Amino acid sequence: MERGHLPSRDTELIQIVDSALAEATRKSGEWLVCRPGCSQCCVGVFAINQLDATRLKTGLAELEKHEPARAARIRERARDSAERLSSQFPDGKFSEFVDSELADHEPCPVLDPEAGRCELYESRPMTCRVFGPPVQSEGGLGVCELCFHGASDEQIAACEMKPDPDDLESTLNEEVEHRTGLSGSTTIAHVLRPD
């Protein structure tokens, strides 16, 4: 496996998560209001792991082959975002931010500002793939604030998404970290900015 290439089982992980999302979407029905063009979840900086970073880099490399101008715009937005966030994320490492107001209002550099859509949708990080339906986290059962209005706690819990029950993502992330020598969390802007 060369540097920058995804582990062979990443396709399997994506299929598992996408299947879980489809089932959660079916169970959620009208309560899940996520639709193309809704991009509230695309504003605000969040941590991605090295597997996500590799997937994004691979997706951007593919886009550069077919649509170099579009890829260049993503890199330019990533560079600008990384510069704005440089004091918060030294060396591109994700950490608790000093100025959450800045980070909370920073649009994802992969978000097309005119269309309101992800330009690397097929390569998006796991956080983006599971956002919307109820998902268990350290803080409890999390759900998009735009979704599930009027639903009871029981109704929300009945729609819970279990995206990766065997934790394949951790195994693949360790593989990427070992291969690349990179570890820890980073941001999309730092991953995709031009070198």
pLDDT classification of 96: cutoffs 50, 70, 90: low
pLDDT in tens, 136-149: 877 778 888 889 99
The answer to whether residue 154 is domain-embedded is: yes
For 151, the domain range is 10-192
> If you average pLDDT over residues 152-163, what whole number do you get?
92
pTM score > 0.85 for this model?
Answer: yes
- pLDDT tens figures, 108-137: 999 999 988 999 999 999 999 998 899 887
pLDDT band at 78 (very low <50, low <70, confident <90, very high): very high
Q: Does any domain span residue 21?
A: yes
What pLDDT, on the 0 to 100 scale, is given for residue 92?
64
**4 found inside a domain:** no
Give the dihedral sign, CA 15/19/24/30: positive
What per-residue confidence (pLDDT) applies to 117?
Answer: 93
pLDDT over 80 at 91, yes or no: no
Does residue 147 sit within a domain? yes
Determine, yes or no, domain membership for 3: no
| Residue 137 β-bridge partners | 140
Does residue 99 belong to any structural domain of this protein?
yes
- 107 part of a folded domain: yes
In a domain, 1, yes or no: no
Torsion sign, CA atoms 74, 75, 81, 82: positive
Residues 6+ apart with CB under 8 A from 123: 55, 56, 58, 59, 60, 62
pLDDT at 1: 34
Q: Are 41 and 128 in contact (CB under 8 A)?
A: yes
Domains contained in the chain, number: 1
